[in-house]
Structure 1
Amino acid sequence: MTSSEKKEVEANEYNPFEHRQVEKPNSDIRTLANLVKASLGSGLLAIPLAFSNSGWGLGLIGTAVIALVCTHSAHIFVEISQACCRAERKPILSYSETCEAAFSNGPKSARRIAGAARIFAEFALLCTYLGVACIFTVLIADSVKQLLDTYAPAYIMRVEYYCLILLIPLCVLVQIRHLKFLAPLSLVANILLIITFAICLYYIFKDGFTVADKKVVGNPARFPAFLSTVIFAMEGIGVVMPIANQMKNPQRFLGCPGVLSIAMTLVAVLYGSLGVLGYFKYGDVLRGSITLNLPIDDWPAICAKCFIAVSIFLTYPLHYFVVIDLLTKYLQPRVKENYRSIFQVVLRALIVCFCAGVGVALPFLEQIINIVGSLFYSLLGLIIPAIIHSVFHYQNLGKWNWILWKNSLIVIFGSICLVSGCAVTIFDIIDKLNAKTE
């Protein structure tokens, strides 16, 4: 028996699930709640704006295709992570560790860049979820400002000041350090989001809407903005790995029906329905969140604006978990053990301040969503999973190398989304900045 065959036998005998020692494991229901909340949020309510860019017909088809591709990419990434756990004989691997392990167990030419692959993945994760935190800050600030501008007109302030005011409550909330304790918050946030979704549907159907004047296919030049928004809304790959690794029964995460497939099916249905109906109702005047289009003088709409702000507020620490996990890994070992608790408090507060600072500098909700979706989520959720899947299975790419061809198409699709989405968004930001200075 050759050394490679021996290693393969040993890997097949090793079951990582039996060796996992998770301090506070999550049940299937809690895992589903966290996973749905990771994919739902500001993205759900931004979907109607995406449909105004694509047209309702192309939007429905595009949403279904992107949902399928994103779910497949998340599935193959978790599958590779579990295979790498067996190959490396380790119980748990993070997103970046999976990238390193896939290259380490790939062809010889790829093994020497395994460390670089891990560092690149960690940098992409950090930038992505810092961007998400910035989006959440601006969205909460926009919702609060709209309410207070109406009911406290004597104290009208710019949205930048609301970003600064949010610093205190956000700094307190991010001190929660275990996913187990975030699950109840995610459940409450999901409930509030569903109620907000129902209220949006109420206003959509309240006075009816017209379909005849709505575009089936929108302006092709705006289609990259649609792709960016939907990918941002649909993707949660950075949170998928921590959530999957914290499961009490991780073998139930994949499969059909598995936690991942159930969560993504629910997400896709919600996105498609609200996207097309919201576009039918409000057309081309849609804003970054559909709740901002609701009337400001009707109590259900007021509740919706409050609920979405609270829902996003409760979701903030779940995405923040990825950022703090990465920074703690590199910074905490340099801190004396006696000061590590204080270090955690200060670090978490500083990151909140950084995200609020970005919100103050660029309070453009739609454009921040598009840049994060096109640049970072295309990279994390589409391009990287397809690459490591091909690298890890380099010895068995299927008949006629169909795995390689399939993954190549995903990489090409992700690259198109990345380049075109970034280009359109940068021009949009320049236009907005020029408009502010005029």
Structure 2
Amino acid sequence: MDERGETVHLRAVQDPAESSSPIPAKEDPDEDYDPHLHRNLPKPTNNIETLVHLLKCSLGTGILAMPQAFARAGLVTGIIATVLVGILVTHCLHVLVRSQYAACKHLRVPLLTYPESVSTALGCGPAALRRFARPAALAVDIFLVVYQLGICCVYIVFIADNIKKVVDPYYVMAVEIHMLIILGPLIGFNLIPSLKMLAPFSALANALTFVGLGIVVYYLLAGKKPEAAEDPLDLWGSADTFPLFFGTVLFALTAVGVVIALENNMKTPKAFGSPCGVLNSGMTIIVVLYVTVGAIGYVFCVSKCSDSITLDLPKDDPLATSVIIMFAVAIFISYCLHCYVPVEVLWKGYLLPRVQRSAPNRERLYEYVLRVALCLLTFVLAVAVPRLGLFISLFGALCLSALGICFPALMEVCVNFPQRASTARNILFGKDALLFIIGIVGLIAGTYTALVSIVRSFQPVPEVVPQA
């Protein structure tokens, strides 16, 4: 752990791509090494604290987009598919944690990051895959950076859309102007270098999110429905829009970027993946909340669900306005937390070593330049494609299909490859092959559908000429 309390990158460990030694067999002395017993954490989290962090990371804009996701999938299909995707995601997260544990045992180190775990796992797999150990680690870094920056783009659009809804009754401005107004505060807030300094703001964001979510559910159950709610409910949805649903649900449910960090920082890490442990308990709560909000939100607004359910709340209701402000503030704070991940990956993994060689006295300056540049990049992307729902579907399908499904399945195959051939191993490999195929299909279909929908959203709608 570093002075900020984050997991440090163990770049000094043996490069698995250069080692052909397999994961130790059961009888190997290395089997006695337990990474959990060698972790020296100054401030480890207990089970309840880890559960709270897991819930916080999964309750953001994704849950507010679930009603629109149900509008694309249909009510019955949405409920069933959300539960199934939740089970799939939970299983893949278990696979990821187990594979990371096996990689740590192989290198005899207490902690590894996600890219290091992928590299180590592939280095222990079939000979044909070992050459891809380093490229796979780089690919994970790229997907993590793209995903986290994608979340930041989503957050900018979300904040601007919701502020516009509050301000429009008094003064109408384009959503891009609202994005420009919040850019300065976002850059200033993103220059805070330590998560410890952001901790009080994170606690405020948690409180605002849970209070706001409770009020949203109240409106969905007791509020006056919009005129579109008179449309008939679609129970089964359409195959054409289902990939968009899949991408949205993956975006909402998959906290793959933080799962390893949470498990790495636990006081009792073995409780994370136990049958009634943190992961299963947290994902059960999350899936129930997402199904509930998605179902009652879709019943509330039917075919006209907005990108965020907050945009469908009554316009002139003070309580509804307060909810919109709560979520805007909470997401504003969360932007800085999510932008912290790509800063850490790019700065510590790639830029800092070069800066230390060329300009060691300007490290802080270059770090600030990186933070400002990433803010400007997410701002430009958000202005270029101000489509919140499609952004969510795109980054969910593109990044989380790979990070949350494909890579964990590939890692499990590799860490179990040295075991002797058996029926159990063949079944395991068959299961992982199926998961990999599901991930690839979801990635291709979801990304293609989201990109096509984004392009179509910018095309003018043809006017319908009434017949004489």
Change in CA separation of 1:353 and 1:25 when aligned onto 2, cut-off 3 Å: farther
Matched with 1:367 is 390
- Residues 65 and 326 from structure 1, CA distance in 2 versus in 1: closer, same or farther, beyond 3 angstroms? same
- Amino acid aligned to 1:351: L
Query: Contact (CA 8 Å) 2:25, 2:418: kept in 1 or not?
Result: no
CA contact (8 A) 1:253 1:260 kept: yes
- Counterpart CA distance in 1 for 2:31 and 2:194 is 32
- 2:206 equivalent among 190, 207, 212: 190
- CA drift at 1:8: 6.5
Query: Which residue identity is paired with 1:195?
Result: V
CA distance in 1, matches of 2:398, 2:27: 37
Q: Is the 8 A contact 2:231 2:303 kept in 1?
A: no
- 1:332 aligned residue: 352
Which deviates more, 283-292 or 163-172? 163-172
Which residue of the other structure, out of 50, 54, 62, is the alignment partner of 1:31? 50
Inter-partner Cα distance in structure 2 for 1:182 and 1:253: 25
Query: Conserved in 2, the CA contact under 8 Å of 1:34 and 1:183?
Result: no
Give the structure-2-normalised TM-score. 0.87
Tell me which residue corresponds to 2:17. none
Tell me the residue number matched to 1:241.
Answer: 260
Asked whether 1:316 is paired with 2:327, we answer no
Q: Does 1:256 align with 2:275?
A: yes
What residue in structure 2 maps to residue 224 of structure 1? 243
Q: Which residue does the alignment assign to 1:300?
A: 319
Deviation, structure 1 residue 247: 2.8
Find out whether 1:199 has 2:215 as its counterpart: yes
The equivalent of 1:158 in structure 2 is: 174
Residues 182 and 211 from structure 1, CA distance in 2 versus in 1: closer, same or farther, beyond 3 angstroms? farther
> Paired residue for 1:408?
433
Specify the code of the residue in structure 2 equivalent to 1:333.
P
CA shift at 1:130, angstroms?
Answer: 1.1
Q: Is the 8 A contact 1:60 1:272 kept in 2?
A: yes
* Structure 2 unmatched runs, 5+: 1-20, 464-468
Instruction: Go from structure 1 to structure 2 and tell me whether the alpha carbon gap of 1:343 and 1:24 turns closer, same or farther (over 3 Å shift).
Output: farther
Indicate if the aligned counterparts of 1:26 and 1:180 stay in contact, CA closer than 8 A: no
Question: 2:89 corresponds to which letter in structure 1?
Answer: C
Distance change in 2, residues 1:27/1:59 (3 Å):
same
Alpha-carbon distance change, 10 to 322 in structure 1, aligned in 2, over 3 angstroms: farther
Aligned residue in 1 for 2:444: 419
Q: 1:242 to 1:6 in 2, by over 3 A?
A: closer
**Aligned pair in 2 of structure 1 residues 437, 27: CA closer, same or farther (>3 Å)?**
farther
State the alpha-carbon separation in 2 of the partners of residues 171 and 311 from structure 1.
16
What SS class does the counterpart of residue 166 from structure 1 fall into? Answer: helix
Letter of the 2:261 partner, please give it. P
Structure 1 residue 359, shift from structure 2 partner: 0.7
Structure 1: tracts of 5 or more residues without a match? none
1:166 maps to a residue whose letter is I
**How far, CA to CA, are the matches of 1:94 and 1:398 in structure 2?**
32
Aligned to 2:375: 352
The size of the alignment, in residue pairs, is 433
Moved more, 306-315 or 335-344: 335-344
Query: What percentage of residue pairs aligned between the two structures are identical?
Result: 35
Q: Kindly indicate whether residue 170 of structure 2 is the aligned counterpart of residue 148 of structure 1.
A: no
What whole-Å deviation, never above 9, does each CA across 1:118-175 have from its counterpart, x for those lacking one?
A: 111111111111111111111111111111112x31xx22111222222222223334
CA displacement 1:234-256 (0-9 Å, x = unmatched)? 11101222232233333332212
Deviations 1:325-362 (CA, angstroms, capped at 9, x unpaired)? 21011101112343222332222122111111111111
Corresponding residue number in structure 1 for 2:408: 385
Change (3 A) 1:191 1:282: same
Q: Is the 8 A contact 1:33 1:187 kept in 2?
A: no
Match of 1:77 in 2: 96
TM-superposed CA distance for 1:184, in Å, is 4.5
Query: After alignment, is 21-30 or 375-384 more displaced?
Result: 21-30
Q: Which runs of 4+ in 1 moved over 6 A?
A: 208-212
**Which stretch shows the higher mean deviation, 376-385 or 10-19?**
10-19
Q: 1:101 aligns with which of 96, 120, 131?
A: 120
Q: Partner of 1:363: helix, strand, or coil?
A: coil
Distance 1:248 1:304, change over 3 A: same
- State the distance in 2 between where 1:33 and 1:352 align: 28
- CA gap of 1:17–1:317, structure 2 versus 1, over 3 A, is farther
Letter of the 2:181 partner, please give it. I
Asked if structure 2 preserves the Cα contact closer than 8 Å seen for 1:30 and 1:183, the reply is no
Instruction: Say if 1:241 and 1:6 are closer, same or farther in 2 by CA, change over 3 A.
Output: closer
Helix, strand or coil for the counterpart of 2:428? helix
Q: Report which stretch shifted further, 163-172 or 109-118.
A: 163-172
Q: Structure 2 vs 1, CA of residues 246 and 171 (structure 1 numbering), >3 Å: closer, same or farther?
A: farther
Q: CA RMSD in A?
A: 2.4
Q: Distance in 2 between matches of 1:176 and 1:248?
A: 28
Q: TM-score, normalised by structure 1?
A: 0.92
One-letter amino acid of the counterpart of residue 339, structure 1: R
Alignment of 1:41-60 (within 5 A): 41-60=60-79
Which range moves more in the overlay, 336-345 or 125-134? 336-345
CA distance in 1, matches of 2:64, 2:98: 31
Residue number in structure 1 paired with 2:156: 137
* Equivalent residue letter for 1:344: E
Among residues 410, 424, 431, which one is paired with 1:399 in the alignment? 424
Q: Which moved more, 1:211-220 or 1:139-148?
A: 211-220
Tell me how far apart the structure 2 counterparts of residues 411 and 52 of structure 1 sit (CA, whole Å): 28
Measured after TM superposition, the shift of residue 211 of structure 1 is: 9.3
Q: Secondary structure at the match of 2:459?
A: helix
Instruction: Tell me how far apart the structure 1 counterparts of residues 27 and 185 of structure 2 sit (CA, whole Å).
Output: 51
Q: Aligned-pair distance for 1:207?
A: 4.5
Q: Is the 8 A contact 1:33 1:186 kept in 2?
A: no
In structure 2, the partner of 1:429 is 454
Distance in 1 (CA, whole Å) between partners of 2:79 and 2:221 is 19
CA contact (8 A) 1:37 1:189 kept: no
